[in-house]
Amino acid sequence: MRAPKGDGYGTIMLAMFERLGVTPPLSVCAMSEATLAGSQANIPAVIREVDERHHPDMIVITRSATAAVLQEPLDGEISMMPDKVNAEIFLAGAHPLRDTEVSAFALTLKEIVAHYAQDVERSPKPSVNIVGPSLLGFHDHANVTSLRKMFAALDIEVNAVVPLGATVDELRTLGRAWANVSTAHELTAPLFAYMQARYGTPSVHALPYGEAGTTAFLRELCALLEIPADRIKLAARDAKLLWYARTVDAHALSGKRVGVFGTPTTAAGIARVLHDELDMKIDFVGTYVLPYGDWLRERVADLTSDVIVTDDYRVIAKRIDESRPDIMFGSQMERHSASAFGVPCAVISPPAHILNFPLGYSPFIGYDGANHIGDVVNQTQVLGLEHHLIETFGPRDQGLAQAMPEGKDAPSVHDVPALATHSASGAVAVAEQILTWDQSAEKLVARIPFFVRKKARANIEKYAREKSIAVIDERTVLAAREHVGG
């Protein structure tokens, strides 16, 4: 990537979220002050290094918005590369200012496939391509496993998974597959249109969300592949969502109002599960992928007419505040917004944080995904940990000083006698003594983040008792921090 180094934060996400134990396969040819002064990009040096260090079959070169603004002729530089490198070099066409992360993904995926695609024979056995999953995708690794499990039960061959883990050889032979299935419509639509035109490859229209939804998805796929649908029940052996919905535990879900916001695919898929399979009430549905607003409207037309298409998270925050749904289903941004209003929120869509890169197997699509969605609903409703914390401690951003006004430090004032009682069991004279906190010490300790404050107070008092200090002042607080910790 040609970019200022800060735009390379994607490598940090890649390394952290995917827990890569190798140097992430993304290099930044950093722009510097020298670039501003007219110095040329050193793209060939970076390409050579990437070729040597990572041994890729293909190096995709892209620019960040800042580099696009500078209008450097990258293609010229690349074409003049004197040394031969082993990797094929591909200049991505996505425009960093016009394209979003979604449209850039969709376009680049199509371009790369078109670059490699060859005319090939259809596979002897019915087969599919699983298209859409990627590194940093939303539960994508598990989603692919979920799909593969089902396809194995149906005796459907997986021709390729693209782009997650795909090799260039697999890209050349995507045309072998009898049909395409997508994990995210907005990421695969241009590629599917290309493959329909070039190979006549059909794709499945239904979204594999929920138990009933997955069954519909597999029926459609079986029809496309001209294979009997009776094996679907083998694939559905572990499906529990519809049974869960009948159990007493889930009865309370009826009529619960939910808001759903995410990518068009996750929003449409999840809204349908919540409505059709769990009998929840859809308050609103929305997406931030603006070009797919109409697609989403059509998909959820029978669930709600209230479809919000916006890429401004504040619009959704305002809506959550106004509607106060019982549960919000959204991206990481909605999780923040909802927590400010005490609305429990489940993250069902990117953008996501590391919580959505679990170690365990938790797909969102297929029958296993349906089970997981049931768990998510259940856990969000029952636990709502953040809701509980905010209720107990108050919002942090109001400033700790405001949250804990001087002299009204209610929770910690109550802590003091309790601690004194506990430590009095040792019957040591100083332990009996009620410690006094002077105002400056109270003020200082109020600045300690609330989640460690109680422990810090206990440590400070322990220290004061050890040192026979009756009145705790600022110096006691600091000395205790140094000697006891906390």
Looking at the Cβ atoms of 49 and 375, the one nearer to other proteins is: 49
Q: Does 44 contact other proteins by CB under 8 A?
A: no
Per CB under 8 A, contacts with other proteins among 401-440 are 401
Q: Does 250 contact other proteins by CB under 8 A?
A: no
**Residue count, binding to other proteins (CB under 8 A):** 91
Q: Does 353 contact other proteins by CB under 8 A?
A: yes
Backbone angles phi, psi at 259, to 5 degrees: -110, 140
Pick one of 59, 61, 62, 64: the residue that binds other proteins (CB under 8 A): 64
Residue 433: Cβ-neighbour burial (10 angstroms; 0-12, 13-18, 19+): middle
Least Å from the CB of residue 303 to other proteins: 28
Looking at the Cβ atoms of 36 and 434, the one nearer to other proteins is: 36
Pick one of 181, 189, 224, 333: the residue that binds other proteins (CB under 8 A): 333
Torsion of CA 409, 411, 417, 421, to 10 degrees: -150
Q: What is the DSSP letter of 194?
A: H
Least Å from the CB of residue 345 to other proteins: 11
Q: Does 315 contact other proteins by CB under 8 A?
A: no
Q: Does 478 contact other proteins by CB under 8 A?
A: yes
* 3 state DSSP class of 300: coil
Per CB under 8 A, contacts with other proteins among 1-20 are 3-13, 15-16, 18-20
> Is 88 in contact with 59 (CB distance < 8 Å)?
yes
Half-sphere exposure of 320 (CA within 13 A, CB side): 27
Q: Does 53 contact other proteins by CB under 8 A?
A: yes
Least Å from the CB of residue 432 to other proteins: 28
249 classed as catalytic: yes
Catalytic residue among 249, 311, 321, 438: 249
Backbone angles phi, psi at 378, to 5 degrees: -60, -50
Looking at the Cβ atoms of 158 and 431, the one nearer to other proteins is: 158
Question: Locate tokens 């940090």: which residue?
Answer: 12
Q: Does 223 contact other proteins by CB under 8 A?
A: no
Looking at the Cβ atoms of 18 and 306, the one nearer to other proteins is: 18
Tokens of 68: 């696009």
Least Å from the CB of residue 322 to other proteins: 15
Q: Does 80 contact other proteins by CB under 8 A?
A: no
Q: Does 448 contact other proteins by CB under 8 A?
A: yes
Contact stretch for other proteins (CB under 8 A) within 181-189, 215-223, 235-243, 473-481: 473-481
DSSP characters over 348-382? -SSS--GGGS-SS---SSHHHHHHHHHHHHHHHHH
Pick one of 77, 315, 351, 381: the residue that binds other proteins (CB under 8 A): 351
Contact stretch for other proteins (CB under 8 A) within 96-104, 109-117, 205-213, 227-235: 96-104
Q: Does 346 contact other proteins by CB under 8 A?
A: no
Q: 422-429: which pairs have CB atoms within 8 A and are 24 or more residues apart?
A: 423/462, 423/465, 428/465
CA distance 190 to 188: 6
Per CB under 8 A, contacts with other proteins among 102-141 are 135, 141
Q: Does 97 contact other proteins by CB under 8 A?
A: yes
Looking at the Cβ atoms of 169 and 249, the one nearer to other proteins is: 169
Q: Does 197 contact other proteins by CB under 8 A?
A: no
Q: Does 81 contact other proteins by CB under 8 A?
A: no
Looking at the Cβ atoms of 256 and 336, the one nearer to other proteins is: 336
DSSP characters over 43-81? HHHHHHHHHHHH--SEEEE-B-HHHHHHT--HHHHHHT-
Closest of 168, 278, 160, 156 to residue 218, by C-alpha: 156
Sheet holding 179-182, edge to edge: 157-162, 127-131, 179-182
CA distance 188 to 36: 37
> Is 433 in contact with 391 (CB distance < 8 Å)?
no
Least Å from the CB of residue 114 to other proteins: 23
Closest of 33, 29, 39, 35 to residue 7, by C-alpha: 29
CA distance 486 to 483: 9
CA distance 369 to 212: 12
Least Å from the CB of residue 97 to other proteins: 6
Number of other CB atoms surrounding residue 370 within 10 Å: 29
Per CB under 8 A, contacts with other proteins among 355-394 are 386, 389-390
Pick one of 78, 158, 229, 416: the residue that binds other proteins (CB under 8 A): 158
Least Å from the CB of residue 9 to other proteins: 5
Q: Report the b/e string of 177-215 with b at 16+ CB within 10 A.
A: bbbbbbbbbbbbbbbbebbeeebebbbbebbbbbbbbbb
Q: Does 172 contact other proteins by CB under 8 A?
A: no
Pick one of 51, 58, 60, 70: the residue that binds other proteins (CB under 8 A): 70
Q: Does 29 contact other proteins by CB under 8 A?
A: yes
Q: Does 229 contact other proteins by CB under 8 A?
A: no
* Active centre residues (catalytic): 249
